[in-house]
Amino acid sequence: MNEVKPFRDDVTDRNMSGGCGFQDGVYKPIADVSVNVLDWGFNKSDVTYDVVHVKDGAFFRLQHHLDRFWASMAGLRMSIPYSQEEVAEILTECVRRARLRDAYVAMVTTRGVPKPGMPRKPGLIENRFIGYAIPWVDVIKPDVQERGAHLIIAKTPRIPSASVDPTIKNYHWGDLIRAQFEADDAGADTAVLLDLDGYLTEGPGFNVFAVIDGTVVTPDRGALEGVTRQSVLDLCADMGIPTEIRPITADEFREADEIFTATTAGGVMPCSRVDGRIKGNDRPGPISAKLKDVYWQRHAEGWDTTPIDYGD
């Protein structure tokens, strides 16, 4: 077990404007947070993480993210010496110290560094926790969201779920990054990936949706069970929009009336083209645009938010 004092106050004077991290019991500027090259989190992608956002001084759906982070750690047989309440307090303190009203807030657990001579068994290694808050991140830039993102369906297939479970949030991003390069080479904004059977999964950092005959449809496979995806499904239920979680083929996706993506780092992000094919009038479709508006409106109304006390 780490001997840590989560609330040590020895770095308050240092510049936290780029973000604040918490590691080994100490809060420090984000640039000073580092991972040992011998940590399996670095050299074997043996790591899990979660990201929650802070908008206008409040966390959104913090408990959902903590629950998923705990489930991810259990799935990888990891544990940390903190309770959910303590992690929530650590993340709050990172946001407070960085004085961020809008933030990307991460919790990360790495497998850790094997002790010299230790048998090569992951279960013996002490796991390491890092928390941090940095200024807001948009996976798809706001101006691109405004015009509707241009997607491609990547040739690179998603890593099979039987090999890397996509419901455990992970850094096995080799396929997602290859797909992003495909999009860059094609002059598109980003990509979605199919599984080996040709069904839609997700993209580099987001879940994906199609609107087909008035129904909002999202894949049932190969993807993280995104908190924003759940928020979209909840909003659709409130708004009387039918939803389906089911397999989606590439052709169905290309033919869909509307498409959009969703993630914590950006929210509901409408798209206007797939593989060069123009959707509607080459702008965000009406259901996607409405869901985006309502998503942010519900934030402003305090839906599932945890306000941060900045002490000012």
**Distance of CA 278 to CAs 138, 165, 192, 282, Å?**
23, 33, 16, 5
In whole angstroms, what is the distance from residue 67 CA to residue 210 CA? 27
Q: How far is the CB of 167 from ligand PLP (least distance, A)?
A: 10
Enter the tokens of residue 79.
């544990």
206 is a contact residue toward ligand PLP (CB under 6 A)? yes
Going by C-alpha positions, the residue among 252, 293, 245, 244 that lies closest to residue 145 is: 293
Binding window for ligand PLP (CB under 6 A); candidates: 79-87, 149-157, 233-241, 256-264: 256-264
Phi, psi of 238 (to 5 degrees): -65, -35
**Strand partners of residue 306:** 59
201 is a contact residue toward ligand PLP (CB under 6 A)? no
Phi, psi of 101 (to 5 degrees): -90, -30
207 is a contact residue toward ligand PLP (CB under 6 A)? yes
- Taking CB under 6 A as the criterion, the residue among 47, 224, 236, 291 binding ligand PLP is 224
Enter the tokens of residue 290.
């409405």
194 is a contact residue toward ligand PLP (CB under 6 A)? no
- Whether the CB-CB separation of 217 and 210 falls below 8 Å is answered with yes
190 is a contact residue toward ligand PLP (CB under 6 A)? no
Q: How far is the CB of 224 from ligand PLP (least distance, A)?
A: 4
228 is a contact residue toward ligand PLP (CB under 6 A)? yes
- 8-state DSSP, 236: H
Binding to ligand PLP, residues 32-51 (CB under 6 A)? 51
171 sits in the region (left: phi over 0; alpha: psi -120 to 50; else beta) called alpha
227 sits in the region (left: phi over 0; alpha: psi -120 to 50; else beta) called alpha
Q: Which residue number, 22 or 295, has a Cβ lying nearer to ligand PLP?
A: 295
Binding window for ligand PLP (CB under 6 A); candidates: 95-103, 222-230, 285-293, 296-304: 222-230
* 87-106 footprint of ligand PLP as x/- string (CB under 6 A): --------------------
145 is a contact residue toward ligand PLP (CB under 6 A)? no
Q: How far is the CB of 67 from ligand PLP (least distance, A)?
A: 11
226 is a contact residue toward ligand PLP (CB under 6 A)? yes
Going by C-alpha positions, the residue among 98, 79, 108, 125 that lies closest to residue 28 is: 98
Q: Which residue number, 12 or 163, has a Cβ lying nearer to ligand PLP?
A: 163
> Residues in contact with ligand PLP, total (CB under 6 A)?
14
72 is a contact residue toward ligand PLP (CB under 6 A)? no
- Taking CB under 6 A as the criterion, the residue among 41, 205, 270, 285 binding ligand PLP is 205
In whole angstroms, what is the distance from residue 253 CA to residue 216 CA? 12
Residue 76 has a CB neighbour count (10 Å cut-off) of 18
In whole angstroms, what is the distance from residue 26 CA to residue 9 CA? 8
209 is a contact residue toward ligand PLP (CB under 6 A)? no
Q: How far is the CB of 134 from ligand PLP (least distance, A)?
A: 14
Binding site for ligand PLP (CB under 6 A): 51, 202, 205-207, 223-224, 226-229, 262-264
